[in-house]
Amino acid sequence: MEFPSALEFLEMFGIAPTEEGSECCRYVKQSSDGQVELDISFSTVADSFEVTLRCAGRSVMTITSEKVRLVELRRDSLGSGIHVLFDICGVMSEATVMLEPDVYCNWWTLQN
């Protein structure tokens, strides 16, 4: 698994990693009103991707999955964010984490 570089995150979103290594990376992005925060991390060792949602500084939800196939930065008419594909025992799962214009996360697994 390859993930976007710190330079790509900085260029697209203006954020630097809060943790960075050759095998893992972590980013934190606040909503435009400062009330919501997404903590995003990925690891090449575990082939994993994780998102933690915090509201007013309190952790509300964490979603984690292994078996990451692809992590890519995307920009379209709805905004900019991260698109992640997982392959879990032949079942495709996806996550979209929007960082601009505001933070938003959508994660789904659908079996054919």
Number of independent structural domains in the chain: 1
pLDDT for 89 beyond 90: no
**Cβ(29)–Cβ(36) below 8 Å:** no
CB atoms within 10 A of CB 85: 15
16 located within any domain: yes
37 located within any domain: yes
pTM attached to this predicted model: 0.88
Domain membership of residue 48 as a residue range: 6-109
pLDDT for 22 beyond 90: no
**Cβ(95)–Cβ(109) below 8 Å:** no
Amino acid identity for residue 110 in this structure? L
pLDDT at 110: 81
1 located within any domain: no
Q: 3, 104, 111, 7: which is closest to 51 by C-alpha?
A: 104
pLDDT for 103 beyond 90: yes
pLDDT at 111: 76
The pLDDT-based confidence of 8 (bands split at 50, 70, 90) is very high
pLDDT for 1 beyond 80: no
